[in-house]
């Protein structure tokens, strides 16, 4: 389920391959993209949390 949600977030579409090597490459690339996206999301969330926790309220 999480991967389908991220495909929407990444604005990707379904791609159909016939050769086994292309299918494996597509899965590998999709997984690498998904992992990078989620890691960037996690890091930015932590950075923003630190940034906003250090601000003084008026």
pLDDT, tens digit, 9 for 90 and up, residues 6-35: 556 666 667 777 889 988 898 899 899 989
Residue 10: which domain range? 2-54
Residue 6 and residue 38 in contact, taking contact as beta carbons nearer than 8 Å: yes
Q: Which residue has the tokens 């590998």?
A: 28
The pair of three-digit structure tokens given for residue 46, joined into one six-digit string: 């932590």
Q: Which of 27, 38, 26, 28 is nearest to 2 (CA)?
A: 38
Domain count, the chain: 1
Please say if the pLDDT value at position 37 is more than 60: yes
User: Within the chain, where are the H helices?
Assistant: 2-9, 20-54
pTM (predicted TM-score): 0.61
């Amino acid at each position: 389920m999480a991967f389908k949600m991220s495909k929407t977030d990444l604005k990707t579409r379904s791609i159909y391959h016939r050769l086994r090597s292309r299918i494996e490459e597509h899965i590998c690339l999709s997984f690498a993209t998904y992992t990078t996206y989620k890691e960037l999301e996690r890091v930015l969330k932590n950075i923003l949390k630190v940034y906003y926790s250090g601000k003084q309220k008026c």
